[in-house]
Each structure stands twice: as structure tokens, then as C-alpha cells.
């Protein structure tokens, strides 16, 4: 027994005086992961449904915000359906009366065509004279024998296209103009009239309407540079009729306060959109559901956003933010489509000038960021951009929603390798 005790004591003494095991940072990292993992799983699972709901609510709120407005517009907007015989070749005058759903008929104008038909349309508010030429190209460059471009000489909206078709029925989707037009033949009737806002023709090029929205990336590192790209959808007045666009850019963000991050940058956005004529003109004009406009806008978006980080554990953080974007229109072109099959194709128009819209768009975004390591982070950001002012040649209220995916580079890692 004594021998055994002595034997044991050799180990007890020898092992009781250990050579200090060298500290290894990787061991601490492993423990830190255990500590983080414990909270992370609980925290993430707990927060995930809340955050998902918050993001969905944000989107839904924007949707809701815009949808009622659209519906209201449709009701308030006078719907003009004119069925008026036009006497072929006659010199007589056809009077078209429009009615609004709200019961308001504002004014009547005269529309004269070369074929001798004069059509009067009603339009509240605007008494600009419109000139229509059947074969011509008023300042808009409309072509097609059956289209009648109308130019708003007073600086308002521009083009009215008419089409001939069977019968002596004229349907006017547009507003207030008196249209001197050229007739086509004896059996000319205008089935539909499309009004197009033409800044050029109106000698007011600064009135170009463009609608775009843009996403912004906000990262939670103190100073970060982010690259991101986003698929997005664009719609006018609502998201009922949308087209997909793309957004790519660079954003610099600075966390000047603990949970507050400011960000700015430059984002290039392709914003094609379709809209009905009525939406395009906005509230000021009655519209027709019979024609549509395709727009192709390219915008440089310069956002200024503030984000509030409301959750940050371990590598995950969530924030919500808002801000304003300034748009610099880089390219702006429109294609006007006519529902009347007699219209010969569509009409294209490119706005030659670039315009700026300072702080014309409200940004709303929710951002989830996961740090890949101390220097890099990955972000997913659902966002929405709501117009505060009309943008583009036609003052369209174009909004954008999308989900941006970005990679951020923590600039602080430069000084703290």
C-alpha cells in the first residue's frame, strides 16, 4: 500500500506542477461561439417571426398607402366616353360630351378635324388649345395615319391621338382640348383619344416626368462601404401594374451613434414601368383606361438615409430606416400604346434633357445584416420608395419596391487588422 501511495504521489506531485499550457486564441473563439450560439439560437428563433412580420408590414403599409389613392383617383377622375356621330366629310361640328362619375362636367371644347368633324371634349380646368393633325407630327413625332397628336400649346399636356374606325362614334379619353385635326376620310370617327404629356411640344422641357425609386443599403459597422444589387418592381400610383427593374450601387454608411447609422451613396437604377394613361397624368386630368404608356427611365439615386438598429446579437443585426433620395435622371424615354387596333403601332419619345429631383422620394427599408467576419457583412434589405413629388416629364407618381442584397466592407477593419 505504501508503495502504491508513493507511486501515486509521483503523479500527483508531477502533474500538480503543470507546465503552463499556452493560451490559444482559437480555444476562446470556440467558447465564444458556444456562448453566442446559445443566445443566438434562442434570440434568432425568437426574433425571426417578429422581424419577418415587420418587413411584411412595411411592404404592406406601403402597398396600402398607395392603393387607396389609386382607387380614389379612378373614382374622382371623370370618365369620358363619348359616342358622337361624326359626319363624314362634312363641315359640321360634332360635339362630344364627357361625363364624370362624380357628376362634374367641366368644360367643353371643340375638336375639329380635317374631315370636317368637330369634336368637343370636356376637360375640367384646362382650357389650353390643342392642335391635332391627323397625318402629322405635331411636336411629338407621332406617326400613323390614324393618330392625331395633340400638342398643348399652353405648356400643359400634349398629345391626343385619335383613331378612325368604323362608325361615327367618338370616344374621348382625354380632357379639355379643342382639337383641330385633319380628317381622314368620309367615315372618320375617333374611337379613342389618347393624351400624352409632351414637354417638348409644350416648350417646357423642364416638366419632364419621371418616376423612379431606389434602394439604399445601410450597414451596421461604424464605417462601411457596401455594394449591392436589387431586383425591384415599379408601379405608378400603386403596385397593381408593375414592371421589374434593377438597381445597383455603392453606399457609404457611418454609425455615428450606437444604434443610428447614416448612409449615402450613388445608385444606378433601371426603372421601366407601365401605366395606364390615367395614372400617368395623375390626378389633374381625367384619363382613359384604353391606352397605356411604357416608360424606360434610368436614374442616379443619391440617398440620404438614417437607420435605427433595433436588434443586434452576435453576428446578426436588424434595422429599420428611412430617408430621402434625390434623383438625377440619366435617361428617360416613353412609348405610347394605343388600344385602338387601328392605330399604327406605338409612338416613342425620348426626353433629351436630364433633370434633377432633390429629395423627391421617400425611402423606407428594413435591413438584416449578418457579419461574415470582422471585415465583411452580408445584407438583405427589403425596401420601398415612395414619391413625394411627381418625377419625370409627366410628373408620374412612380414607386418602387424591391429586395436588395449587398456585401458590406467594414472600413474600420483597415485600422484594426
- Site residues (CB under 8 A) for other proteins? 3-4, 6-8, 10-12, 14-21, 23-24, 27-28, 30-32, 34-35, 38
Asked if residues 162 and 153 have their Cβ atoms less than 8 Å apart, the reply is no
- Nearer to other proteins by Cβ, of 34 and 45: the residue is 34
Residue 167 DSSP one-character state: S
- The nearest distance, CB 375 to other proteins, in angstroms, is 19
Whole-angstrom distance, CA of residue 345 vs CA of residue 336: 9
- The nearest distance, CB 28 to other proteins, in angstroms, is 6
- Nearer to other proteins by Cβ, of 35 and 388: the residue is 35
- Nearer to other proteins by Cβ, of 67 and 315: the residue is 315
- Nearer to other proteins by Cβ, of 49 and 416: the residue is 416
Strands 316-338 and 291-313: antiparallel
- The nearest distance, CB 54 to other proteins, in angstroms, is 26
- Nearer to other proteins by Cβ, of 3 and 166: the residue is 3
Whole-angstrom distance, CA of residue 188 vs CA of residue 409: 65
- The nearest distance, CB 41 to other proteins, in angstroms, is 14
Nine-digit cell string for 375 = 471585415
DSSP track, 195-264: EE--TTTTT-GGG-B-----------SSEEEEEEEEEEEEEESSSSSEEEEEEEEEEEEE--SSSEEEEE
Whole-angstrom distance, CA of residue 72 vs CA of residue 90: 41
Number of Cα atoms under 13 Å in the Cβ half of residue 169: 12
- The nearest distance, CB 309 to other proteins, in angstroms, is 18
Residue 372 DSSP one-character state: S
CA distances 4 to 18, 79, 390, Å, are: 22, 107, 94
- Nearer to other proteins by Cβ, of 35 and 91: the residue is 35
- The nearest distance, CB 17 to other proteins, in angstroms, is 6
Residues whose CB is less than 8 angstroms from the CB of residue 354 and which lie 6 or more positions away in sequence, other chains included: 328, 329, 330
- Nearer to other proteins by Cβ, of 12 and 331: the residue is 12
Nine-digit cell string for 232 = 425591384
- The nearest distance, CB 373 to other proteins, in angstroms, is 17
Amino acid at each position: 500500500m505504501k508503495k502504491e501511495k508513493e507511486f501515486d504521489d509521483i503523479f500527483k506531485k508531477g502533474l500538480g506542477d503543470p507546465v503552463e499550457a499556452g493560451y490559444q486564441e482559437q480555444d476562446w473563439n470556440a467558447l465564444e461561439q458556444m456562448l453566442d450560439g446559445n443566445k443566438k439560437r434562442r434570440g434568432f428563433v425568437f426574433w425571426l417571426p417578429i422581424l419577418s412580420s415587420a418587413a411584411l408590414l412595411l411592404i404592406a403599409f406601403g402597398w396600402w398607402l398607395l392603393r387607396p389613392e389609386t382607387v380614389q383617383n379612378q373614382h374622382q377622375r371623370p370618365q369620358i366616353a363619348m359616342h358622337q356621330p361624326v359626319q363624314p366629310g362634312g363641315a359640321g361640328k360634332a360635339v362630344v360630351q364627357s361625363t364624370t362619375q362624380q357628376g362634374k362636367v367641366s368644360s367643353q371644347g371643340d375638336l375639329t378635324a380635317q374631315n370636317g368633324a368637330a369634336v368637343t371634349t370636356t376637360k375640367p380646368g384646362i382650357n389650353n388649345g390643342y392642335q391635332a393633325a391627323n397625318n402629322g407630327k405635331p411636336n411629338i413625332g407621332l406617326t400613323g395615319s390614324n393618330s392625331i397628336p395633340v400638342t398643348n400649346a399652353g405648356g400643359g399636356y400634349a398629345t391626343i391621338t385619335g383613331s378612325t374606325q368604323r362608325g361615327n362614334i367618338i370616344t374621348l379619353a382625354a380632357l379639355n382640348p379643342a382639337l383641330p385635326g385633319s380628317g381622314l376620310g368620309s367615315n372618320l370617327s375617333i374611337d379613342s383619344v389618347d393624351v400624352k404629356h409632351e414637354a417638348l411640344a409644350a416648350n417646357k422641357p423642364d416638366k419632364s416626368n419621371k418616376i423612379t425609386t431606389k434602394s439604399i443599403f445601410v450597414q451596421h459597422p461604424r464605417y462601411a462601404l457596401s455594394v449591392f444589387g436589387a431586383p425591384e418592381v415599379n408601379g405608378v400610383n400603386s403596385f397593381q401594374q408593375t414592371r421589374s427593374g434593377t438597381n445597383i450601387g455603392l453606399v457609404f454608411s457611418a454609425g455615428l451613434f450606437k444604434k443610428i447609422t447614416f448612409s449615402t451613396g450613388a445608385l444606378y437604377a433601371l426603372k421601366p414601368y407601365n401605366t395606364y394613361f390615367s395614372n400617368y397624368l395623375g390626378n389633374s386630368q381625367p384619363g382613359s383606361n384604353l391606352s397605356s404608356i411604357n416608360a424606360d427611365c434610368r436614374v442616379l439615386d443619391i440617398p440620404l438615409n438614417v437607420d435605427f438598429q433595433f436588434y443586434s446579437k452576435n453576428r446578426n443585426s436588424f434595422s429599420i430606416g428611412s430617408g430621402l433620395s434625390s434623383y438625377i435622371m440619366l435617361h428617360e424615354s416613353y412609348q405610347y400604346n394605343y388600344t385602338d387596333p387601328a392605330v399604327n403601332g406605338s409612338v416613342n419619345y425620348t426626353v433629351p434633357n436630364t433633370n434633377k429631383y432633390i429629395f423627391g422620394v421617400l425611402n423606407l427599408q428594413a435591413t438584416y445584416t449578418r457579419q461574415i467576419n470582422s471585415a465583411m457583412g452580408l445584407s438583405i434589405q427589403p425596401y420601398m420608395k415612395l414619391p413625394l413629388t411627381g418625377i419625370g416629364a409627366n410628373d408620374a407618381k412612380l414607386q418602387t419596391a424591391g429586395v436588395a442584397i449587398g456585401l458590406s466592407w467594414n472600413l474600420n477593419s483597415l485600422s484594426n487588422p
